[in-house]
Amino acid sequence: MSIIRVENLVKKFGNITAVNDISFKVEEGTIFGFLGPNGAGKTTTINILCTLLSPTSGRALVAGYDCMKEPASVRKSIGIVFQDTTLDKDLTAYENLVFHAYLYDVPKIEMKDRVNDVLNFVDLYNRKDDTVKKFSGGMKRRLEVARGLIHRPRVLFLDEPTLGLDPQSRNNLWEFIAELPKKHAVTIFMTTHYLEEAEVCDRIAIIDNGKIIATGTPDELKKIVGGDVVYIRTSDNVNAKREIQRSFGFDVLEKEGELYMTCSMGDTCIPEMIRTIGEKVLTVRLQRPTLNDVFLKLTGKAIREEEVSGEGSILESIRAYRRRH
Amino acid sequence: MEFNAIYVIVARELKKFLREKSRLFSAIARPLLWLFIVGAGISRLVPRDTGMPYTQFIFPGIIGMTILFSSMFSSISIIWDKEFGFMKEILVAPVSRTSIVVGKALSGTIVSTIQASVILALFPFLGFQLSLIQIMLVLLICVSVSFCISSFGIVLATFYESYESFSVIMNFIIMPMFFLSGAMYPVKLLPDILKIVAQLNPLTYGIDALKHAIFPDGMGQMSPDFSLLSCASVIIGTSLVFVFVASRSFERKG
Ligand SMILES: Nc1ncnc2c1ncn2[C@@H]1O[C@H](COP(=O)(O)OP(=O)(O)OP(=O)(O)O)[C@@H](O)[C@H]1O
Ligand SMILES: [Mg+2]
């Protein structure tokens, strides 16, 4: 069963079309990723799905309820972690959670247990009596996820859950999010800027300028750019190139004395390649495709300038790829 | 209406109020200043034969002022909640918008009534002798007027997003509301145009009701301007309108 169904959704703010006729479905118990650059319309879509905004036209159903006609039922079925924190910083972690439990009419006898359970789940039990003011960004994020789970929602929305976190906390949070569907019987709808982060998703939709430009599993999307790019420096480029082309059938290109090729599974490809060309190998590096690459491929423009710089070689390979198709 | 939600909204607000002791102090300092300094000064200008000392006449008005400031400013919590995002947590919850407004209005009501009671407790120093029934009646009126003004503040707060713009409009509205409420001078003495404005001000009826309760046999110029029944109907009627309007404008935007 599709737990979220969006049909021809449009949202205009004056003459800005934030969401431009999008349709998609999310299956129950899966993690769905909404991927797009700043201003793509991700938050606007979430706000419509969680009944904070009304669409200009189109339809949205969450847990079988119409977001426009049955907002109360939708609200009961969802939990949400907004892009910007919505905790009361003057209250303690525990008080924030109890507030939420009352708002969602959690039965009083269960309240304490449920609050303590989620606090343990996000590893904040021993900080429960600290005011949220004293929490780090990552702790606040975890507390918000915990809060979103207290009332046992069927869908949990996460709007850029890793915003402002260091790489370590990002990874922890992703591991934690990946476990949610099984542990809490919940469907996850999340947004992010990074394809790497969308790795945990079962399905991804890429949105740009209010339009969905691609949907698929993370692997399917990476295949759009032809997968990973492997760079090899060898002592004998000419022969190495010939050997790789013969054994793997890759299109091997050369740039600044370095060979490079795109392959769908870089990690398994590298060992085989080294076995084939043996001693000639000097250095090997692997570049995973980013959202920016998929983006470039689909729209012909970069997402953000700073992400484009330093990726000259991969841009080259994509241009080469595009010329060939 | 969801009583659990109303309860927890009120509990949060009171918890924050109690953690912030300075608010109670400053809320009480203002009426004391008006009562004992401004009131005492003006009383020298007012002829003695008007029926009662001027400091007694303004007592209901000063209670009304306490309620006005404290109720209007309690709605600032909505602006803070919007600025810090907490409002979204409340708005996505399966709670009717009316419950949210009632919860916020009741928080304002409780805080204002506490402050008004502190001022009311000064009555022996002003030469009043109030019976227990009168005191109960005054408290009842304080509760209803506080609810009315708090929900008016909430109506305003639903239209503003930032603290700066909201405090500008607050200062612009509060002072005229106070001066055109019969607090400092009877409405019946005002020029016609101002009299009309005063009659559109819900606080006028609140203060008038307090006059009925505090000096039921006030006479001449100092007597109440309206009947107690009309005061009660205006206060209850406008409260309902304000709650309705605020709930409506809390509905999703756009
Ligand atoms: N309340 C609003 N009024 C006017 N325009 C808005 C409003 N909210 C969003 N927009 C516009 O709609 C577009 C989409 O915004 P949205 O917040 O949905 O983007 P996003 O994908 O969440 O971006 P980000 O990654 O930066 O969070 C933007 O152009 C934005 O300026
Ligand atoms: Mg966003």
pLDDT digits (tens, 9 = 90+) for A181-235: 988 889 999 998 877 778 789 999 999 899 999 899 888 887 777 778 888 888 8
The confidence band for A306, taking pLDDT boundaries of 50, 70 and 90, is very low
Does pLDDT of B252 surpass 70?
A: no
Whether A228 and A211 share a structural domain? no
Q: What pLDDT does A312 receive?
A: 43
Mutate to test the interface with B, among A73, A97, A103, A104 (most CBs of B within 10 A): A103
Res. B253 pLDDT band, cuts 50 70 90: low
Pick from A88, A100, A115 the residue to mutate for testing the B interface (most B CBs within 10 Å). A88
Q: Using CB atoms, pick whichever of A54, A86, A102 lies closest to residue B254.
A: A54
Q: If you average pLDDT over residues A117-134, what whole number do you get?
A: 92
Q: Is the same domain home to A183 and A242?
A: no
Indicate whether A52 and A104 sit together in one domain. yes
Looking at residue A302, its pLDDT comes to: 59
Domain limits for position A256: 223-324
- Answer with the one of A180, A201, A221 that is the final residue of a domain: A221
- Judge: B8–A104 Cβ closer than 8 Å, yes or no: no
Cα angle A78-A158-A147, degrees, rounded to a multiple of 5: 60
Nearest protein Cα to ligand 1, atom 10:
A18
Q: What is the pLDDT of residue A291?
A: 64
Domain identity same for A232 and A256: yes
Q: How many domains does chain B have?
A: 1
Q: Which ligand is nearest to the CA of A53?
A: 1
Report the CATH number at residue A131: 3.40.50.300
Q: Which of A2, A38, A3, A4 is closest to A22 using CA atoms?
A: A4
Both A256 and A137 in one domain: the answer is no
Considering the domain architecture, whether residues A256 and A193 belong to the same structural domain is answered as: no
By the CB criterion, residues less than 5 angstroms from ion ligand 2 are: A 42-43, 83
* Domain end call among A186, A221, A256: A221
Query: CA-CA distance, B237 to B105, in Å (whole number)?
Result: 15
What is the CATH number for A280?
A: 3.30.70.940
- pLDDT at residue A305 tops 50: no
Within 8 A by CB and 6+ apart from B78, the residues are B87, B104, B154, B157, B158
Nearest-CA residue for ligand 1 atom 12 is A18
Q: Is the pLDDT of residue A317 over 80?
A: no
CB B171 within 8 A of CB B224: no
Please state, as a whole number, how many other Cβ atoms lie within 10 Å of the Cβ of residue A39: 13
Average pLDDT, chain A: 85
pLDDT at A283 over 60: yes
B23 touches chain A (CB under 8 A): no
Of A53-57, A86-90, A193-197, which range is least confident? A193-197
- Sort out which chain B residues have CB atoms less than 8 A from A147's CB and list them: 89
Confidence of residue A309 (pLDDT cuts 50, 70, 90): very low
Q: Specify the range with the lowest mean pLDDT, choosing from A36-45, A280-289, B76-85.
A: A280-289
Question: A106 and A17 in one domain?
Answer: yes
DSSP letters for B100-123: HHHHHHHHHHHHHHHHHHHHHTTG
Give A234-269 as a 3 state SS string: ECCHHHHHHHHHHHHCCCCEEECCEEEEEECCHHHH
The first and second tokens of residue B38, run together, are: 């401004």
pLDDT tens column, A227-273: 788 888 888 888 888 888 888 887 888 878 888 888 877 788 888 88
Q: Are residues A114 and A238 in the same domain?
A: no
Contact indicator for A53, A11 with CB cutoff of 8 Å: yes
Per the structure, the count of domains in chain A is 2
pLDDT-derived band of residue B202, with 50, 70 and 90 as boundaries? Answer: very high
Q: Are residues A291 and A214 in the same domain?
A: no
**A8-12, A42-46, B163-167: segment of lowest average pLDDT:** B163-167
CA-nearest residue for atom 22, ligand 1, is: A43
**All residues at 6 or more sequence positions from B222 whose CB lies less than 8 Å from its CB, including other chains:** B50, B51, B52, B57, B186, B215
Report the pLDDT value the prediction gives residue B254, as an integer from 0 to 100: 53
B90 in contact with chain A, both atoms CB, cutoff 8 A: yes
Question: Quick one: average pLDDT of B38-54?
Answer: 81
Q: Write out chain B residues lying below 8 Å of A95, CB-based.
A: 12, 15
Q: For chain A, how many residues are written?
A: 325
**Which residues span the domain enclosing B189?**
2-253
The predicted model gives B135-141 an average pLDDT of 96
Residue A127 sits in the same domain as residue A263: no
Q: Who wins on pLDDT, B105 or B226? A: B105
Q: Same domain, yes or no, for A204 and A281?
A: no
pLDDT in tens, A135-179: 998 889 889 989 999 999 999 999 998 887 778 878 888 888 888
Task: Report the pLDDT value the prediction gives residue A301, as an integer from 0 to 100.
Answer: 64
Chain A residues with CB under 8 Å of a chain B CB are 11, 13, 50-54, 71-73, 75-76, 78, 80, 82, 84-91, 95, 98-100, 102-105, 147
pTM above 0.90, yes or no: no
- For residue B96, the chain A residues in CB contact (below 8 A) are 72
Same domain, A227 and A278: yes
Q: Which of A221, A246, A269 corresponds to the end of one domain?
A: A221
